[in-house]
């Protein structure tokens, strides 16, 4: 057995999976509370990625950076999370809020429209070409080319370490927030039963805004992670990533946060092992086929509870 290939694909899968898991978390949170498939979520990830790219450009481009790299990374994350979160809140306020009690098809189609608008608006403003984070070949710290070696001669770059550690930090923070704070409690209550939560005096509007903000901020951070690990950003990157994140959320059990993380990792691993062992052209098809199988065998996802239809 070729252990080198195995370990390399494992590391790549976990890295990719962490990015998917972060996107899937926001998607799952919003679905849990609003029962809304937010197709625009992937595009917020794209916006986060471009905010990070914009900061690199503002500070002189990756090769002639004026500022300390750690400072820049922190700034990129803060701005991408804040920017992504604000876009998410705006989308909720202006596109979805009026449709909260509309038939299910209305918000879904609106979400498709928002996604289309964000993608093509970004293409108009930013251009259709790929932009690159320029592999962080910075004079003092070359993150992407620096690496350490695991057993079986598999290389792990610092960029991958940043992505995985950063994703874990964010997930722990989110878990603490949802489990330990007053707002987190309100959020869980709203997800459980929105009407009853409103009757108990919970400000449901505020909870929804907070959920959109946090979910979109996570997507924005995921965009920066993706840029650090894979360099390429372009306006249509959000659609495919969004699809994979939906897959992750659905596989794990939609509305279930640990499930979203598990699903994200599974999708990342499936994708990278499919690329390494089966066929690089059909990795996307393999991921979709995996989703369809999970949906048919266990429609509520791996960790989700079966939906009971109440009359």
Partner 1 sequence: MDGGKDIDPVPARPDEAQDPSRIGVDDWVASHEGRRDRGEGLLAEIRTELERVPRPAFFAGFGVAAALLPLFTSNDYIVRVGFDTLLYMLLALGLNIVVGYAGLLDLGYVAFYGFGAYGYAMLASPKFGLHWDTLAIIPVVVVATAILGFLVALPSRRLLGDYLAIVTLFFGQLFVTVYQNGNRISFLGLTRSYDLTGGPNGIPDVDNYDLGGLHIGSVRGYYYVALIIFLLVLGCVYLVDLSRTGRAWKSLREDPLAAELMGIPVKRLKLIAFACGAGIAGLTGTLFAGLNTAVFSANFDVATLIIVYAILILGGAGSLGGVILGALVVNVSLEVLRTPGHATWIFYVVLAATLIAKVRPWKRLAVLLVATIGLGYAAHAIVSSAWPRGVEGSASVGGWFGDGLNGWELHPSNPRFIGNLAFVALVFAVLLLTMIDGWKRLAALVPTLYLASFVWENRLVVEPSITRLILIGVILIVLMNARPQGLLGTSRVEIV
Site for partner 1, rule CB under 8 A:
35, 37, 90, 94-95, 98-99, 102-110, 112-121, 123-125, 239, 243, 246-247, 250, 278-279, 281-282, 284-285, 288-289, 291-292, 295-296, 299, 307, 309, 311
* Rounded CA separation 6/39 (Å): 33
**Distance in Å, CB of 4 to partner 1, minimum:** 19
Closer residue to partner 1, CB minimum distance, 110 or 226: 110
**Distance in Å, CB of 26 to partner 1, minimum:** 16
**Distance in Å, CB of 285 to partner 1, minimum:** 4
Residue showing tokens 């799952």? 28
**Distance in Å, CB of 206 to partner 1, minimum:** 17
**Distance in Å, CB of 96 to partner 1, minimum:** 9
30 exposed, middle or buried (CB, 10 Å; 0-12, 13-18, 19+)? buried
**Distance in Å, CB of 250 to partner 1, minimum:** 6
Closer residue to partner 1, CB minimum distance, 56 or 99: 99
Closer residue to partner 1, CB minimum distance, 118 or 171: 118
Reference 250, options 236, 237, 262, 240; nearest CA is 262
* Rounded CA separation 51/221 (Å): 10
Closer residue to partner 1, CB minimum distance, 167 or 250: 250
Closer residue to partner 1, CB minimum distance, 45 or 246: 246
Closer residue to partner 1, CB minimum distance, 69 or 106: 106
* Residue 104 vs residues 35, 99, 111, 211, 249: alpha-carbon distances, Å: 9, 9, 11, 20, 19
Closer residue to partner 1, CB minimum distance, 181 or 279: 279
**Distance in Å, CB of 42 to partner 1, minimum:** 12
């Amino acid at each position: 057995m070729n252990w080198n290939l195995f370990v390399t694909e494992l590391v790549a899968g976990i890295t990719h999976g962490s990015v998917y898991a972060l996107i899937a978390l926001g998607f799952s949170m919003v679905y849990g509370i609003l029962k809304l498939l937010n197709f625009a979520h992937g595009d917020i990830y794209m916006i986060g990625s471009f905010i990070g790219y914009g900061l690199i450009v503002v500070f002189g481009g990756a090769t002639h950076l004026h500022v300390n790299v750690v400072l820049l990374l922190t700034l990129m994350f803060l701005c991408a999370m804040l920017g992504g979160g604000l876009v998410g809140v705006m989308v909720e306020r202006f596109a979805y809020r009026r449709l909260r009690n509309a038939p299910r098809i209305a918000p879904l189609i609106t979400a498709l429209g928002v996604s289309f608008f964000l993608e093509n608006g970004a293409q108009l403003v930013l251009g259709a070409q790929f932009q690159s984070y320029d592999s962080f070949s910075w004079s003092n710290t070359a993150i992407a080319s620096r690496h350490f070696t695991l057993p079986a001669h598999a290389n792990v770059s610092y960029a991958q370490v940043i992505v995985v550690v950063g994703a874990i930090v964010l997930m722990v923070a989110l878990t603490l927030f949802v489990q330990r704070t007053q707002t987190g409690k309100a959020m869980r209550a709203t997800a459980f039963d929105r009407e009853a939560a409103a009757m108990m005096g919970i400000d449901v509007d505020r909870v929804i805004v907070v959920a959109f903000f946090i979910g979109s901020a996570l997507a924005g951070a995921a965009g920066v992670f993706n840029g650090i690990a894979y360099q390429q950003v372009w306006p249509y990157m959000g659609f495919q990533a969004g699809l994979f994140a939906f897959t992750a959320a659905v596989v794990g059990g939609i509305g279930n946060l640990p499930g979203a993380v598990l699903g994200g990792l599974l999708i990342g691993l499936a994708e990278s092992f499919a690329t390494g062992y089966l066929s690089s052209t059909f990795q996307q098809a393999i991921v979709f086929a995996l989703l369809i199988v999970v949906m048919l065998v266990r429609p509520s996802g791996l960790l989700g509870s079966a939906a009971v239809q109440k009359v």
